[in-house]
Structure 1
Amino acid sequence: MERKIMNDFLRWKKDINRKPLLLYGNRQIGKTYSVLAFGEKEYKTVAYINCENNYELLSIAKRENSVEKIVLRLALLVGEPILKKDTLIVFDNINDLDIVKMVKLFGKGECDYHVIMITSLKENLVKFKGEELQYKYMFPVDFEEYLKACNQNQLIDFIKDSYKNNKPIPFHQIAMDHFQNYLMTGGLPEAIEASFHNPNFAYLNSVHQKMIDCYKRSLLFMPTLIDTTRANEVLDIMPYQFLKPNHKFQYGLMREGSRSKDYEAAIDFLSNNNFVYRCYKVSNVGMPLSKFKDKDSFKLYPNDTGILFYQLHLNQIKLLQDDKLKNILYETSIANNIVSSGYNLYYYASEGKAEVSFIVQSRLGKIVPIELVNTNLSKAKSLTLFMNKYDIHEAIRVSEENFSLKKGIKYIPIYATFCFKEYL
């Protein structure tokens, strides 16, 4: 499966100021696969080293402080020569600080050894931070990558062109059909491959359940001391927070008598490590948006629509017929694309209960409201009220309808939100 991050790897390789790269992202999203595929394509050899319980590697890290001696020991460890410029050295599942300190030696001065480290914990950035490293976050498969896996490159070009020029796309229903399938599988490569080769829903469900179990098991081995029981409760109850009229996260749904302080640490950890995405409420708007966020009012979004589809016990018929459940998945998909485009999540809610789904502070410094259109007409009015109140002249309205532009509002179909990264 072709991933966009391959282009980032290539830019890193060609960077004259290249440092060892720390690649981080959630489990099971294809980090290792992508790095190894890049290595096989761009280098003569790949020296792959799994750091989990690798005591021989740990011994090298603690004893050696010379790059050349380290390379000689690593070559013995992997059983083949490590060549300057021609070998990609890969340290997978890296969590030990001594090993990171060793890798940082490759980032001091001029060094012709190319090194990539892989970890699943975003918080390791704090622990591993240093000028000797470069960093890259990897997200799950987005809809553009999914379409490429479906051999729909021409459809991608049509979508991007329509997004830029606000003109209807002639293959709108085809794109919608592909997107409905993507919502059900989500962005985990194993789930996507399962849907391609075995369209049986029971099998796809088993893949998603395995992913949930993997997330929960990983919480047991986190270096940060958190209450794993409460973290798991948050993951379990999160989908059902969306079944309320108000999607704001409510601690009272966790267990009777629960309070914010009981779950704050668990939610902070899940959010900081992108197990979930936190969307803060703003009731006023200005620059920067972070200044106006209400830390006590937020929504939590899953990082994958496929897992949410499974947790809500949906099937294809339910998805097509139940607008409420469909909008939950649509809203989650938009949130995922906003985050992967490099933006923080905010939603607007006033005392009069006018609400706008998402508010983005764009790279050009503009405040851009993004509204998901559903059967709730009051929301449609909310966007207009918001634009008038804050003198906003540009907005995005997302729905199942085709592309258009009306009175400063850009109408885009739900499948086109992957374009945010390039054009927002």
Structure 2
Amino acid sequence: MFKRDALTDLENWASSKYRKPLILRGARQVGKTTVVNEFGKEFENYLYVNLEHSEANKLFDSSLPLPILMDMFYVYCNKSKKEGRTLLFIDEIQNSPKAVARLRYFYEDLPEVFVIAAGSLLESLIDVHVSFPVGRVEYMALRPCSFSEFMGAIGEEALRDLIKKAELPDAFHDRVIALFNIYTLIGGMPEVVRNYAFDGDIVSLNRVYETMLEGYRDDVEKYAKGGVLSDVIRYILTEGWAFAGQSITLGSFAGSPYKAREVGEAFRTLAKTLLLELVYPTTSASVPLVSDLKRSPKLLWLDTGLVNYAAGLQKEIFGASDITDAWRGMIAEQVVGQELLALSNKVSQRRHFWMRGKVGSSAEVDFVYLYDSKIIPVEVKSGHNAKLRSIHSFMDEAPHEWAVRVWSGNYSVDEVKTSKGKSFHLINIPFYYVGSLEIILSKHIKSSAN
């Protein structure tokens, strides 16, 4: 077990005086159970209750008062109650609607008990078969390992700490870029990261990828009970990986015979499982940040390692000295999008890109990031500043003077002027600094305001 950043998030949740039962959400295989089991070591009493087991399920289905039910959980877990804090982890909670309903009573009647719930298929069942008590629970998302967590797993804690503070000396740049390329290749699924950290064998990871992909495909009947929806979901889980980082059309997606309505429903179902996200553009360079759902979205999957394996890209990524040159730059967009999503543990977190609203314009910025009421353009591209035409188009419309370019080069700031004469600051950050974007923007934007 290597330390996940989510442990710090869980500690912050536990220390809050406004704490409510926590619903931990995330795709299968992102390590929800492992993280909570590790967190449970910080409690004098840790009760793990898996509702796939009939005994546990029947306990929740009983009409026992909550204090007595808690005593029964100690019996179920074969543990004696000790003085100190108690953490109750209800795993696979989607198997018991009564367990879901009882979460509100933990909040109201036993606030001293720390309660976390999770489920491998929870995401696809929420708002369909499962309804959580509004205002009585809170949510946290767990995602694949970020590059920072990968660095910790492979024992590069000192470099990781410098990266987090955006203070890495240029002398270490080539070394860390090489490590980021490995991370881009293998991805951040915890089992993959753990196995690579243990023996450094990339080839053996294919067995892990295949097992994960088969597991996702086997879940299709649980997401949708037969019919066309099941067929479309299965098709997306087979063919859709090759479209990571690309704008897609829903009708006849990936050469399929399926209609836009059928494909859209399948994508929305998979988005609930947090396996993927359809990222929609905004056409405004100023707040509020609003998605334009009439335009084509980009497809981003949960993990770059799974994309590389499923789409047959591993050899191309492995041989690339600059990932912006690999697979037409799509894998670079996928991994940057993955790192941007990892900046937040909010379930509601969404990514956006920018398209110029003018008819006939092809200007498009890979991502935009909301910071301090400013929409910051984030372009993933190498090359000279003059070629960043889309950022120039964005900055001509933006009410501020800040833009970000992600590349394989060194960290620097350029003073740039658009063809219309507007001056702006272009912050060039290496790929490994995407996870430090908040700190970098704070350093520059707040210091300039002072």
Q: TM-score, normalised by structure 1?
A: 0.89
Counterpart-to-counterpart distance in 1, 2:160 and 2:203: 30
Which piece of structure 1 moves more, 7-16 or 279-288? 279-288
Provide, for residues 99-123 of structure 1, a one-character-per-residue CA deviation record: whole Å limited to 9, x for no partner: 1122332110453222211123335
Counterpart-to-counterpart distance in 2, 1:256 and 1:217: 21
Distance 1:247 1:421, change over 3 A: same
C-alpha displacement of 1:33: 0.9
C-alpha displacement of 1:312: 2.5
C-alpha displacement of 1:338: 2.1
What is the match of residue 45 of structure 2?
A: 45
Conservation of the 8 A alpha-carbon contact between 1:45 and 1:88: yes
C-alpha displacement of 1:84: 6.6
Counterpart-to-counterpart distance in 1, 2:384 and 2:12: 45
Q: Percent identity?
A: 23
Q: Per the alignment, in what secondary structure is the counterpart of residue 248 of structure 1?
A: coil
Distance 1:278 1:60, change over 3 A: same
Which residue among 358, 372, 396 is the counterpart of 2:404? Answer: 396
Which residue among 327, 339, 362 is the counterpart of 1:325? Answer: 327
Counterpart-to-counterpart distance in 1, 2:243 and 2:108: 48
Counterpart-to-counterpart distance in 1, 2:366 and 2:197: 33
Counterpart-to-counterpart distance in 2, 1:412 and 1:204: 30
Provide, for residues 345-395 of structure 1, a one-character-per-residue CA deviation record: whole Å limited to 9, x for no partner: 222233321211112222x11011000014699961211122113344111
Matches within 5 A, 1:129-148: 129-148=133-152
Unaligned regions of 5+ residues in structure 2, if any?
416-424, 442-450
Distance 1:262 1:379, change over 3 A: farther
Conservation of the 8 A alpha-carbon contact between 2:370 and 2:376: yes
Conservation of the 8 A alpha-carbon contact between 1:158 and 1:169: no
Amino acid at match of 1:344: R
Matches within 5 A, 1:196-215: 196-215=197-216
C-alpha displacement of 1:85: 4.0
Matches within 5 A, 1:21-100: 21-40=22-41, 42-52=42-52, 54-83=53-82, 85-95=84-94, 96-100=96-100
Amino acid at match of 2:33: T
Which piece of structure 1 moves more, 80-89 or 349-358? 80-89
Root mean square deviation, CA, Å: 2.6
Which piece of structure 1 moves more, 19-28 or 59-68? 59-68
Which residue among 418, 433, 446 is the counterpart of 1:416? Answer: 433
What is the match of residue 149 of structure 1?
A: 153
The yes-or-no answer on 1:345 pairing with 2:351 is yes
The yes-or-no answer on 1:260 pairing with 2:260 is yes
Which piece of structure 1 moves more, 329-338 or 368-377? 368-377
Conservation of the 8 A alpha-carbon contact between 2:232 and 2:258: no
Which piece of structure 1 moves more, 167-176 or 70-79? 167-176
Amino acid at match of 1:44: E
Conservation of the 8 A alpha-carbon contact between 1:354 and 1:378: no
Counterpart-to-counterpart distance in 2, 1:144 and 1:205: 23
Conservation of the 8 A alpha-carbon contact between 2:285 and 2:394: no
Which piece of structure 1 moves more, 407-416 or 217-226? 217-226
Q: Per the alignment, in what secondary structure is the counterpart of residue 297 of structure 1?
A: coil
- Give the count of matched residue pairs: 415
What is the match of residue 3 of structure 1?
A: 4
Conservation of the 8 A alpha-carbon contact between 1:175 and 1:415: yes
Conservation of the 8 A alpha-carbon contact between 2:410 and 2:430: yes
What is the match of residue 354 of structure 1?
A: 363
Provide, for residues 206-252 of structure 1, a one-character-per-residue CA deviation record: whole Å limited to 9, x for no partner: 11111111112223223788822211222332232359xx6334533
C-alpha displacement of 1:419: 1.5
C-alpha displacement of 1:396: 0.6
Counterpart-to-counterpart distance in 2, 1:263 and 1:50: 34
Provide, for residues 44-70 of structure 1, a one-character-per-residue CA deviation record: whole Å limited to 9, x for no partner: 232111111x33323222322522111
Q: TM-score, normalised by structure 2?
A: 0.84
